[in-house]
Structure 1
Amino acid sequence: MGAIIADEGSKPEILASVAQATAALAKLKTIWNDRNIALSSKIRLMRSLVMSLFLYACEYWTLTADTDRRIQTMEIRCLRKLLSITYRDHISNEEVRNITRQAIGPQEDLFTTVKRCKLKWYRHITRSTGLAKTILQGTVQGGRRRGRQKKRWEDIPEWTGMTLGAAMRKVERREEWEELVAR
């Protein structure tokens, strides 16, 4: 699937996705500058054309505080480009989000979308039987590296507010899990 495997986790893959999405955003410059197209239509186009390209295979990313920041930066950069707002205009990121919220209503941010995709994939793998489930639930022998540890699949309950066992049981009940992911 074109995944980049590196020692530093998913950072190179996320950077490659950012580069692809930025290139797609630049190619659509004539649409963003067109004053005859409504802002709501531009935002929907950006979410369907640019963000979908960015989110390809996001289920496999290892999320850290740095990658979280990069994902949020990508989203704000796209919105600023779409709204023709530069950083020299001294408009805060929250104000940019408010402008888009007024244009199309409340939308989940990009990092929340990544987490939702990861939770759906987690349910899919946990319900299956095979190598992916074994790898997902397995442990590796040896010591840990220094510094803050990367997020693991055992950290999924942190997003859901449940213990690992409760999350594993809830995965078996599809409707309840999808309701949890929607929240």
Structure 2
Amino acid sequence: MSDQYPQYPQYPNDPNASTPYPGAQPAPAGAGPVYAGWWIRVGASVIDGLIAVAVAIVPVVVGLVMAFSDLEIDPVTDEATGTVDPLGILVLVIGGLVFFGFDIWNRGVRIGTRGQSLGKQLVGVRTLRADTGAVLGGGMGFLRWLVAFGFGFIPFGQLVDVLWPLFDPRKQTLHDKVMSSVSVRS
């Protein structure tokens, strides 16, 4: 190997021992964190949403079937006739609670305690305190989730929140700014 390329660590019995590629440069000392870009964060969020839906889909579908299985539509008046099963409504509500409970745990508490939701873990992103680089903590993670959820009640708030990283130098959402957190590549 030529000395002009940086050397990479060799691991025992690694058949694909890393070799430098032309033009490779080591990261400059003190370069700081690499902030996670908008698209990778969107991908992580989509994955998290799909996982939450997958967790809650069974009780929601069962609840819908139970609640509305006796309903019929009168072909003449287009009115619904029959009864709604209260047990089905209860199962439907439980499905909604499962969805929100999982989402709070995954995007709130898990980000606070581990720095990553399941989606962020899959795409290689961590959310950390902006000042120290430490994890937020479970309570602060939940509060971060709550602030992000709260932007949904402000007209265009959620849209502005999720688009903010496109123009921010540290690629922070508004709820990241409120909570003094950043998302970095891990």
Same fold (TM over 0.5): no
TM superposition score normalised by structure 1 = 0.30
Structure with bigger helix share is 1
- TM-score norm. by structure 2 comes to 0.30
User: Which of the pair has more CA radius of gyration?
Assistant: 2
